[in-house]
Amino acid sequence: MPSTPRPLRQLGFLTIGLFDEADPRRGHEETLDLIALGEDLGFDSAWLRHRHLQYGISSPVAVLAAATQRTSRIRLGTAVTPLGWENPLRLAEDLATVDLLSGGRLNPGFSVGPPVHWEQVRGALYPDTGEHEDFSPARAERFLALVRGEDASAFEGTEGIEDYSRRVQPHSPGLAERLWYGAGSLRSARWAGEQGINLLTSSVVKAEQAGRAADFAEIQAEQIHAFRSRHPLGERARVSQGLVVIPTDSATAEQRARYEAYALSRTPRTLAPQGPARLLFAPDLVGTTEQLVERLHAHAGFREVDEVAFALPFTFGREDYVQILTDLATRLGPALGWRPGSDLG
């Protein structure tokens, strides 16, 4: 079995915070409980994914603000915030506020592009400015500049009894170094490297070369190489991988059967690129720690990272998540070389 040249140093998990429309508070509270459990189990990070106009967390920054008051150590991330839904200045203010409340534990991930179902949602989101909104990397560059403390206003000084700042307030030193970009193509990976930020890879990539065999792991590894080739830190640039990984060591027979059925139902989309964008999905990994270690060590993308944020399946229940997180922290993580207490930011 090939070994990874990058022993796992950071173990995290990702959830969308699914909830019942009839009782949304319960789902949000369960997400907060999972984050607290993750800290108790020694996880380095917990990440929330945006779900706009769906039954998952639509405001991760608000939920993470609550999480800052229930935890003291675990790092808190978004994977990822789609900037097409956000005003970059307001988002920079919110993130800096939550980062200060957390004691410098926030790790915001973001991406660019038009909002999902743009034509259907533009009337509610940008009714007067839709045709003027820029969803290109320029929007992200504006956001980066604001987080880094560059001018947001041409006015600074005192007006009456009010004091005004040129830059976003509060300003949180160090937050800019903890920004992550969610990339799924060679172009976006290169852009992230050129910006000197961190890279989030997930279970989706673009199979950009139509005449080439679509191998998810190889495509992901190529994107990581492209990112590091443009990054000032080169091979030391941080990359985190977010595959769906479900250990079954302590699962019941019923859970194992359900996990395997879940992964099987999602397998067809992994066999070939999907849609005009040629999106390729990674197979979900289900098995014992021994089986998962073998599959991960053979994965070209995993061999390039030393940080992960394994994604929890979207539709499972609390008992399932507790079992999965416990096995990740007590069995799979250590088997991959991870030990709690890393000093990475």
Q: What DSSP letter does each residue of 44-70 carry, written as one string?
A: SEEEE---TTSSS-S-HHHHHHHHHTT
State the DSSP H helix or E strand holding residue 324, giving kind and residue range, or none if neither.
helix 318-327
Burial of 317 (0-12, 13-18, 19+ CB in 10 A): exposed
Q: What is the pLDDT of residue 212?
A: 63
CA distance 77 to 108: 5
The 10 Å Cβ neighbour count of residue 268 is 10
Assigned domain for 164 exists: no
Domain that holds residue 220: 10-151+169-335
Assigned domain for 2 exists: no
What is the identity of the amino acid at 205?
Answer: V
Token pair, residue 77, equals 């991330």
DSSP label of 249: T
Peptide bond into 170 cis (omega under 30): yes
Q: What is the pLDDT along the chain (345 residues), one digit of tens a residue?
A: 334 467 899 999 999 999 999 999 999 999 999 999 999 999 999 999 999 999 999 999 999 999 999 999 999 999 999 999 999 999 999 999 999 999 999 999 999 999 999 999 999 999 999 999 999 999 999 999 999 999 999 999 999 999 999 999 999 999 999 999 999 999 999 999 999 999 999 999 999 876 566 899 999 999 999 999 999 999 999 999 999 999 999 999 999 999 999 999 999 999 998 999 899 999 999 999 999 999 999 999 999 999 999 999 989 999 999 999 999 999 999 999 999 876 555
Distances (CA, A) of 78 to 111, 139, 161, 252: 11, 18, 37, 31
Assigned domain for 78 exists: yes
Assigned domain for 163 exists: no
Q: What is the pLDDT of residue 109?
A: 98
Report the SS3 class of residue 246: strand
Q: Rounded to 5, what percent of the chain is helix, strand, coil?
A: 40, 20, 40
The 10 Å Cβ neighbour count of residue 261 is 11
Asked if residues 60 and 91 have their Cβ atoms less than 8 Å apart, the reply is no
Assigned domain for 129 exists: yes
Assigned domain for 274 exists: yes
Q: What one-character-per-residue DSSP string does 255-312 give?
A: HHHHHHHHHHHTGGGGSS-BTTTTEEEPPPEEE-HHHHHHHHHT-TTGGG-SEEEEEP
In the chain, the number of structural domains is 1
Q: Give me the CATH number covering residue 230.
A: 3.20.20.30
Torsion angle in degrees (nearest 10) through CA of 270, 274, 279, 281? -20
Asked if residues 75 and 61 have their Cβ atoms less than 8 Å apart, the reply is no
Assigned domain for 310 exists: yes
Assigned domain for 340 exists: no
CA distance 48 to 109: 10
